[in-house]
Chains A and B, each alone.
Chain A
């Protein structure tokens, strides 16, 4: 089955800096790669996703890039703010009709 590795497990940045979180997946048939944000005490929520026919997607300060050949994808957050502090999870799905497999998460801390 699919296996998703996520790095780093913790990331501390200063406000205004950029943050990058990287994930690799094992199954070349995977075609959907979302990122979820979980604030302390809250439920995970989708912040951005990308499908395998696209190399990059942006939404304001966040972007995701996908390298299908290398089987890795990354989350980029620019101009970080304290409210970006949360746990971020990457995930991959092998095919429609199967479930998302998540990475172990990255705890991002943005200090002002």
Chain B
């Protein structure tokens, strides 16, 4: 069953702790993305990666870090430097438009809800 899997679904963290959210896809998509969703704020881009070993900052990258060592994996670390980390985090993947048959459509995971206590 192809898709994009995020874990954990719910996560609680104490202030000052780093936490890593997992995102795995078996769709053979080149591009992967992390968005943060807050009520009334829409989906805000944290980081994205178009290819293995390369990634770019989005609009709200401060306090977050990512890695892209494998095509199927794009973990997001929420560091203690992120001032307001409590949020719903969505990972997505796509075949970039510049690829053959690439439409640019994003396929989202089910999300991870992080709560800082």
Contacts and interface: CB of A to CB of B under 8 A. Distances in A.
A34 B107 CA distance: 13
Interface of B: 33, 35, 40-45, 48, 50, 56, 58-59, 90, 96-98, 102-106, 108-111
A97 B42 contact: no
Interface of A: 1, 6, 9, 32, 34, 36, 42-46, 49, 89, 91, 93, 96-97, 99-105
Contacts of B103: 49
Nearest to B51: A97
Contacts of B102: 96
Nearest to B44: A102
A56 B46 CA distance: 31
B41 A104 contact: yes
Contacts of A91: 43
Given A43-B90, A96-B97, A102 B42 contact: yes
B10 to A, nearest CB: 13
A43 B109 contact: yes
A97 B110 contact: no
B98 A96 contact: yes
Contacts of B58: 99
